Amino acid sequence: MVAVVRAETFYLPPPNQPPTAWDLVPLAERVFRWVELRQQRRLVPPAGFVIGQKIFARINHNRWVADCPCGSAQIVTPADPRMACTDCGAGWFALIFPEDPAAAEASVADELPHERNWWNPDDDGTWDRTAEEPTDPRSEGGKAA
């Protein structure tokens, strides 16, 4: 089985460093190291949290992802449920994961990785799909247009 991608398996040190090079960097902060290496610019994680903002994590094409209000997104992990945007630098956002992330991952495990999508159907008002999409056998792929 192909595991759902989390921040700790995506944001890794470059090949010229040992695999353990970032072990002391908190999981949610590894994106800053990763972006620094690829964009060749210094980034400093913010110090404080943004209060009153709900950001839901979701599985999108087999990756745990969260969207910043600025429109940027990044891969996240339930092991460190926070996100700070490397684009706008607004601050740390507390993320809302399902009570049992492993169960959400298991619910999409039978799909091909590029079709693995899960979102919080009860509370996440930012996602524009319903939990059960109606199907229409006359439409392409069986999904309603």
pLDDT tens digits for 103-113?
A: 999 999 999 99
pLDDT for the residue numbered 41: 87
pLDDT under 70: residue ranges of the chain:
122-145
Closest CA to 102 of 1, 34, 31, 24: 1
47: phi then psi, degrees, rounded to nearest 5: -90, -30
Structure tokens at 73: 């997104």
Structure tokens at 96: 């809302």
Closest CA to 10 of 37, 25, 30, 40: 30
pLDDT for the residue numbered 6: 97
In contact, 55 and 83? CB cutoff 8 Å? yes
Alpha helices for 59-132 (secondary structure H): 101-107
